[in-house]
Amino acid sequence: MLDIIQAKNYEDMSEKACEIMVDRLNALINPILGFATGSTPEGVYKQLIEKNKEKAISFQNVMSFNLDEYVGLKKDDPNSYYHFMFQKLFKHIDILTDWIHIPNGVAPDLEKECDEYEQLIRDHPIDFQILGLGVNGHIGFNEPNTSFSSRTHIVELDESTRQANARFFTSMNEVPTKAITMGIQTIMESKELMLLASGSHKADAVAKLINGEISESFPASALKNHQKVTVIADEAALAKA
Ligand SMILES: O=P(O)(O)OC[C@H]1O[C@](O)(CO)[C@@H](O)[C@@H]1O
């Protein structure tokens, strides 16, 4: 079941999401958080930084796992998700670097990297996972027709996903063709999930999520089988639902 919260706009969506996170962070003793990249959660991260500065929350006892990383981009590549997370959140808060986990997209043995990442999550089950939504319904980098039983694995990125993310690269050729992502089953094992969506370009995907059937052709629909998932979407994203 999806618990849907309507927000006015991006700012309001980010505020509502931050409120929920502050609540969970303060309720859990040693929170294990799952973070997402992309433009959607940036506003929440900005607000979490402020809350941390005001000492309304602390990340000192937080362990984190990120959903995904491009294959072939080093940590210091400006387009790596490692770089994104440090620039947008981690370097501004009191989280312990040793407790941050992001898949290594340049690991010499990528299969082994996936297995080890999956095992780490099994050993440290995620309490609260943030998700964005791809225009094709992807969550993490699980593209349409990924098995709902998938675990951390390497994916070939959809052309539509590469195009959607091309805005961050100087040319389409530079957009990686592969990524490591938590699988859908990995994501579903988080105790709580929060999916965010903003803007009219997400309206079709949000409508399909809310009104469509549960199908592997639309990865985000798996969330309807989860016990505790909140969708926070703004008016533009909810326009077709
Ligand atoms: O938030 P954005 O930039 O719209 O991206 C949506 C989703 O697409 C990804 O950026 C991957 O393409 C995810 O990380 C994100 O959840």
**ipTM (interface pTM):** 0.93
| pLDDT value of position 139 | 98
Please tell me the pTM assigned to this model.
0.97
Tokens of 87: 């620039």
111-119 contacts, C-beta under 8 A, 24 or more apart: 111/154, 113/180, 114/151, 114/152, 114/153, 114/154, 114/180, 115/152, 117/65, 117/152, 117/180, 117/182, 118/151, 118/152, 118/182, 118/183, 118/186
**What angle is formed at CA 36 by the lines to CA 31 and CA 37, rounded to 5 degrees?**
140
The residues annotated with a catalytic role in the active site are 68, 136, 138, 143
Nearest to 138 by CA among 117, 170, 120, 160: 160
Q: Is 31 in the pocket of ligand 1 (CB under 6 A)?
A: no
Query: ∠187-192-193 over CA atoms, to 5°?
Result: 60
Query: Does the C-beta of 52 come closer than 6 Å to ligand 1?
Result: no
| Residue 177 DSSP code | S
Amino acid at 123: D
CA distances to 35, 109, 131, 133, 175 from 154, rounded to whole Å, are 18, 11, 18, 19, 16
What local confidence, expressed as pLDDT, does residue 112 receive? 98
Instruction: Please tell me if the CB atom of residue 136 comes closer than 6 angstroms to any atom of ligand 1.
Output: no
User: In ligand 1, which atom is closest to the CA atom of 131?
Assistant: 16
Report CA(164)–ligand 1 centroid distance (Å).
8
Distance from the CA of 179 to the center of ligand 1, in angstroms? 13
pLDDT at 1: 84
The rounded Å distance from CA 28 to ligand 1 centre is 27
How far is residue 7 CA from its own chain's centroid?
19
Q: Which residues of the chain register pLDDT less than 50?
A: none
**CATH class of domain segment(s) 2-238:** alpha beta
